[in-house]
A and B are shown apart, each in its own frame.
Chain A
């Protein structure tokens, strides 16, 4: 177990050192993670609080010194909402990615290692998962299970493992032919030992990269589902802010300060995942490095 962790960590570390894009991606993740953790310290107000001055409610205030990004049509501080919005985004992103990595890696490892019947059954299931339209599936499931962040995570976890499983399987197929695997087999290592001690460390960086892509997908999906009004109404996420702006006519009022910032935040976090994932392309296709 220790060996797996050390090997994986080493691989990830060298990868990050060599790839500037990936480094930027990790920095963005760290930045938003810090914001999410320290949201109560950073946000000047409670994001639900309706502000007023004397008897007058502060509806639709443009950005000012008091409200850095202005207020909503209900007089809520947008900057505070934006800061708190990092929490559900990262929570959904990382927990969905966690399941995606676990399920996808296991399916890929088992299919690629055992081949034959096991492989074709698992790959048929993967094909079926590929046939299910992702966004509609999440909407239907969340729409009927009820609006909650965890239902969104479950819906995504049920489908998103498919890409990871395919890639991991392909990688396992090549790794298992290498001589050190042969050596392990000859020296009498069990299948499980070969899979988890010998093969897994070689493909874990790849699962990690697919996980980072999944973080992006998950955050985009959460935003889309919340935007459509199937999100948790108690939790202020970036998608919820955009939904709120859309239904409150912020577009026709030209309240750019309301609906531009949440989109940029979503984009940055998703980009971070892509930047890290871009490196995976180079690991998969070393030929591309030349260009």
Chain B
């Protein structure tokens, strides 16, 4: 056990190094880009002096390595600079939209993993039958269809054609929520959440479903499942009580990785549905050359992903004592 903690600490250290390297790569991407990073900020009418003053204000007149250390120091303190576009600190801008992204992600993950796990059991149950082939082909469809296109079709059908769901945003026009609690208890919010969450969950569905299926098939080869069958237990009991219970664990672990996927997948889905979240913010920041904001949003998304990969490793080794952290490498 002592040893396990040591390995976890070591893995945690590796995670921090990974984050640091990602932040460094990002720093250089943004600094070494062709053109002046302040282009979007500087009005053509600015005089040379005014431009210099601005450069100074953002620390862009200093040599690159000094800028780099300032950047790292600020990053550690959670200070991400000011957005050019919103004229507000990046931390504030991100904090405002982050809850929306989290809600979208959590709902989508719940839908995707519930349907995925049940679907995986169903396919394993009907292995070798037509329904299994059909199920796998359908799942491949969900993975091959561009998510934004699925979103567009859902919008066209359910929002514009039949007028069931709103066509975008997180609230009706003019509606303002006083607090996150207000938002979460308002029906209108879920009404807006439904289509984007559905689209994201279609995108996320494939991983748990295929994983659950192949785990089930693996486990159904084990001696204790044969034993249960020989004891004359019903198929339902064998499938759920013996096989599914054990096939379930790796899927839970994969959920951590799924969060990472969802963070990336959000970028496009949020844009299609004008969902005011982190992904849409990133797209907006990039298209308006708002590099402090793009940098902040990207680092946050990357941090969530790296952290979730780390969690997946840890959960996996805690849930399954046969796996040691060393042996996974």
Q: Is the CB of A230 within 8 A of B287?
A: yes
Known A144-B33, A271-B140: A224·B302 in contact at CB below 8 Å? no
Partner of B286, one of A133, A140, A288: A140
Interface size class of A (residues with CB under 8 A): 35 or more
In the complex, the answer to whether A131 meets B148 with C-beta atoms within 8 Å is no
Q: Are A267 and B152 in contact (CB under 8 A)?
A: no
Cα separation A236 to B254 with both chains bound (whole Å): 37
Which of B81-89, B105-113, B267-275 contacts its partner? B267-275
Q: List 9 A-B contacts (CB under 8 A).
A: A131-B302, A144-B29, A216-B144, A230-B287, A245-B152, A259-B152, A263-B153, A271-B141, A291-B217
- Tell me, rounded to whole Å, the shortest Cβ–Cβ distance linking B80 to chain A: 15
Known: A141-B29, A143-B287, A252-B160. 4 other contacts (CB 8 A): A137-B298, A140-B26, A143-B294, A259-B152
Which of B29, B34, B140, B286 sits near A274, CB closer than 8 Å? Answer: B140
A131/B29 in contact, CB under 8 A = no
Interface residues of A in 262-291 (CB under 8 A from B): 262-263, 266-268, 270-271, 274-275, 278, 287-288, 291
**Closest partner residue, chain B, to A255 (CB atom):** B156
Whether, in the assembled complex, B232 has its beta carbon less than 8 Å from a beta carbon of chain A, the answer is: no
B146 touching A136 by the CB < 8 A rule?
no
On whether A274 and B146 interact (CB within 8 A), knowing A141-B29, A254-B160, A263-B153, the answer reads no
Asked if B146 contacts A220 (CB within 8 A), the reply is: yes
In the complex, chain B residues whose CB is within 8 Å of the CB of A63: none
Q: Are B298 and A288 in contact (CB under 8 A)?
A: no
Which of the residues B29, B127, B263, B268 comes within 8 Å of A228, measured between beta carbons? Answer: B268
Cβ–Cβ contact B286 & A128, under 8 A? no
Choose among A124, A136, A141, A228 the residue that contacts B264 (Cβ–Cβ < 8 A): A136
Check if B286 sits within 8 Å of A230, measured CB to CB. yes
Residues on A with C-beta less than 8 A from B229 are none
- Nearest-CB distance from A121 to chain B (Å)? 13
Interface segment out of the listed B14-22, B65-73, B94-102, B237-245: B14-22
Within 8 A of B (CB), among A202-253: 216, 220, 223-224, 227-230, 239, 242, 245-246, 251-252
Q: Taking the complex as formed, is B265 at the interface, i.e. its CB lies under 8 A from any CB of chain A?
A: yes
Residue A134 interfacial (CB < 8 Å): yes
Cβ contacts under 8 Å, A268 to chain B: 144
Q: Mark B256-280, 1 if CB is under 8 A from A, else 0.
A: 0000100111011001100000010
With A133-B302, A267-B146, A270-B144 already in contact, the answer to whether A139 and B21 are too (CB < 8 A) is no
B104 close to A (CB within 8 Å): no
How many interface residues does B have (CB within 8 Å)? 58
CB of B309 within 8 Å of the partner chain = yes
- Considering the chains assembled together, what is the distance between the CA atoms of A284 and B259 in angstroms? 27
How far apart are the CA atoms of A135 and B146 in the complex, in Å?
13
- Contacts A143-B286, A252-B167, A291-B128; is A132 near B144 (CB within 8 Å)? no
Q: Across the interface, name the chain A residue whose C-beta is closest to B128.
A: A291
A4-18 CB mask vs B (1 if < 8 Å, else 0) is 000000000000000
CB of B283 within 8 A of chain A?
yes
Contact indicator A140/B153 (Cβ below 8 Å)? no
Q: Does A86 contact B (CB under 8 A)?
A: no
| Distance A145 CA – B286 CA, assembled complex (angstroms) | 11
CA distance A262 to B260 in the complex (A): 28
Are A136 and B301 in contact (CB-based, < 8 A)?
yes
Whether the Cβ atoms of A263 and B146 lie closer than 8 Å is yes
Q: How far is the CA of A114 from the CA of B203 in the complex (A)?
A: 38
CB atoms of B140 and A135 under 8 A apart:
no
Q: Tell whether A123 is near chain B: CB-to-CB under 8 Å.
A: yes
Report the minimal beta-carbon distance from A167 to chain B, rounded to whole angstroms: 15
Query: Is the C-beta of A31 less than 8 angstroms from some C-beta in chain B?
Result: no
Tell me the minimal C-beta distance from B62 to chain A in angstroms. 21
B292 to chain A, nearest CB (A): 13
Q: Is the CB of A132 within 8 A of B268?
A: no
In the bound complex, do residue B18 and residue A127 qualify as a contact, i.e. CB atoms below 8 Å apart? yes
- Rounded to whole angstroms, the CA-CA distance of A229 and B267 in the bound complex is 13
Whether B287 contacts A242 by the Cβ 8 Å rule is no
Contact of B127 among A252, A287, A291 (CB under 8 A): A291
Nearest opposing residue in chain A for B142, CB measure: A267
- Residues on B lying within 8 angstroms of A by beta carbon are 14, 18-19, 21-22, 25-26, 29-30, 33-34, 127-128, 140-141, 143-149, 152-153, 155-156, 159-161, 167, 214, 217-218, 221, 260, 263-265, 267-268, 271-272, 279, 282-283, 286-287, 289, 291, 294, 297-298, 301-302, 305-306, 309, 329
- Which chain B positions have C-beta within 8 A of A224? 146-148, 268
Does residue A130 face the partner (Cβ distance < 8 Å to B)?
yes
Return B132 CB to nearest CB of chain A, in Å. Answer: 8
Known: A130-B309, A230-B286. A242 touches B148 (CB 8 A): yes
A27 within 8 A of B: no
By a CB distance below 8 angstroms, the chain B residues around A30 are: none
Kindly list the 8 A-B residue pairs having the minimum CB-CB distance in the complex, ordered from nearest.
A143-B286, A263-B149, A270-B144, A131-B306, A133-B264, A271-B144, A251-B156, A144-B33
Contacts of B291 in A (CB 8 A): 144
Q: How far is the CA of A106 from the CA of B287 in the complex (A)?
A: 35
A42 within 8 A of B: no
User: If A135-B265, A266-B146, A267-B145 touch, does A251 touch B214 (CB 8 Å cutoff)?
Assistant: no
Given contacts A132-B22, A271-B141, contact A288 B264 (CB under 8 A): no
Of the candidates A137, A230, A239, A254, which one forms a contact with B156 in the assembled complex, judged by CB atoms under 8 Å apart?
A254
- Can you name the residue of chain B whose Cβ is closest to the Cβ of A266? B146
| Chain B residue contacts of A251, Cβ below 8 A | 152, 155-156, 159-160, 167
A37 within 8 A of B: no
Residue of A with least CB distance to B282: A136
Name A266's contact: one of B30, B149, B155, B287 (CB within 8 Å). Answer: B149
